[in-house]
Amino acid sequence: MTRRWRTTRCSYEDVWPFVPAHLKDHPLKEMPSFDAAVDEFFSRIEGQKQELKVAAQVRLEQSQGFGAPCGYSRAEADSKRLDVDAQIAQANKKVEAARRNHEEHVEVLAQAQLTNAEKGQLIEYNLNLVCAGRNVQLG
């Protein structure tokens, strides 16, 4: 089974171990395993964070009086700065949502692991009863 994640304008939004029905028509990048997809996803997210820091630094320098970038009028530079601000805010929201989603998923998996370990211990403790019940059922 291939693993995929949804992309928008080369920014990664989410990583899935399967293709959800609501994303079948979206552009997806396939990976050979879920582990590879998660590694790629989070390394790209880190790269996007670095790009956002650089953009924020450029914006800060421009706001401190270094003027508009070459070739742009002040209004065009302000418009581009607002676009960058919106992209930074959107990317930060996506990163935070992905982080929360994965933290919740890890917690659910940890809880399931504990529950399954308890079930396994109960089966081991009551192995005689489990085997007897199985033999009765199989006839």
Whether the CB-CB separation of 109 and 117 falls below 8 Å is answered with no
29: helix, strand or coil: strand
- 70 vs 31, which has greater pLDDT? 31
* Cα distance from N-terminal residue to C-terminal residue, the chain: 38
The per-residue pLDDT for 5 is 45
pLDDT tens per residue, range 12-57 = 667 777 777 877 787 777 778 888 888 887 777 777 777 777 777 7
Least confident of 75-79, 80-84, 130-134: 75-79
- What pTM was computed for the model? 0.40
